């Protein structure tokens, strides 16, 4: 077994010990297909911002390409209207694209009006929803009350953005897990993680899913890395970069 294969096997073994499922967050089809080949990637999420950054111009065509290539793992696509009636029309179309599709519904529109009634209506009609852009506990509770019955669903709490405000997201996510007990078909997502540690934090508090971008996922081989060796690697990096830059004093 070569070194690379051995390292990948170690990563898979480490991840297999976790209860939390890892979903890849992105909208670059080539990257998604590469991650699809990894057995520890259990699903995918996208959003309009990621699609725009990836250069997607035809939403429907991109989604169909993704679903043709990845037919057997959950994938979330988001509505983009700001009006609830149009959100519902878009949601019902998106839901028809595949059995593995979850429709992302923002927790509010841009006027701060709650999407709770729409979420309940869609879920009770059999559409799998992923309620997104949640940051506050009262939002988690409100969404959970809308998902007490109906189709399987996801509740995406942007724990990384919570941390960006200087607030520890772990207690918040612990409470969110408790709130979702009233919605047994709903899974809690730790969204927008900033570091690999968040995967283990999400697992410890009982989150069902964590989404991660390619930048976070590429750090997976560091799991279990000896800290002394990592320190030496860092020293070598600084030395090599100084040498290649030709620095002199």
- 190 three-class SS: strand
Q: Torsion angle of alpha carbons 193, 199, 202, 205, nearest 10°?
A: -150
Distance (Å, rounded) from C-alpha 207 to C-alpha 18?
A: 11
- How many whole angstroms from its chain centre is CA 217? 11
Q: What are phi and psi of 35, to 5 degrees?
A: -70, -30
Residue among 21, 42, 53, 104 flagged as catalytic: 104
Element (H, E) at 211: strand 209-212
Continuous H helices in the chain: 3-16, 29-36, 48-53, 59-69, 84-95, 116-124, 137-146, 159-164, 169-179, 197-205, 214-217, 227-245
Catalytic residue list contains 219? no
Distance (Å, rounded) from C-alpha 25 to C-alpha 6?
A: 26
Q: Which residues are catalytic?
A: 104
């Amino acid at each position: 077994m070569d070194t690379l294969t051995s390292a990948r096997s170690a990563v898979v073994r480490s991840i297999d010990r976790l209860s939390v499922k890892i979903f890849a967050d992105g909208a670059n089809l080539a990257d998604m297909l590469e991650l699809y080949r990894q057995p520890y990637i259990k699903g995918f999420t996208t959003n309009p911002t990621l699609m725009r950054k990836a250069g997607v111009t035809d939403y429907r065509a991109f989604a169909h390409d993704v679903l043709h290539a990845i037919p057997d793992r959950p994938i979330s696509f988001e509505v983009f209207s700001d009006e609830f009636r149009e959100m519902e029309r878009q949601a019902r179309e998106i839901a028809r694209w595949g059995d593995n599709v979850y429709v992302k519904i923002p927790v509010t529109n841009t006027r701060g009006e709650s999407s709770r009634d729409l979420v309940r209506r869609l879920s009770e009609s059999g559409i799998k929803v992923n309620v997104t852009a949640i940051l506050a506990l009262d939002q988690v509770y409100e969404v959970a009350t809308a998902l007490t019955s109906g189709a399987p669903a996801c509740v995406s709490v942007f724990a990384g953005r919570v941390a960006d405000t200087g607030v520890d997201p772990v207690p918040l996510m612990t409470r969110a897990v408790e709130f979702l007990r009233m919605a047994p078909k709903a899974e809690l997502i730790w969204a927008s993680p900033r570091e690999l540690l968040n995967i283990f934090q999400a697992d410890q508090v009982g989150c069902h899913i964590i989404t991660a971008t390619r930048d976070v996922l590429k750090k997976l081989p560091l799991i279990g890395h000896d800290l002394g060796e990592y320190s030496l690697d860092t020293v070598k990096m600084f030395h090599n970069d100084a040498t290649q830059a030709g620095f002199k004093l």
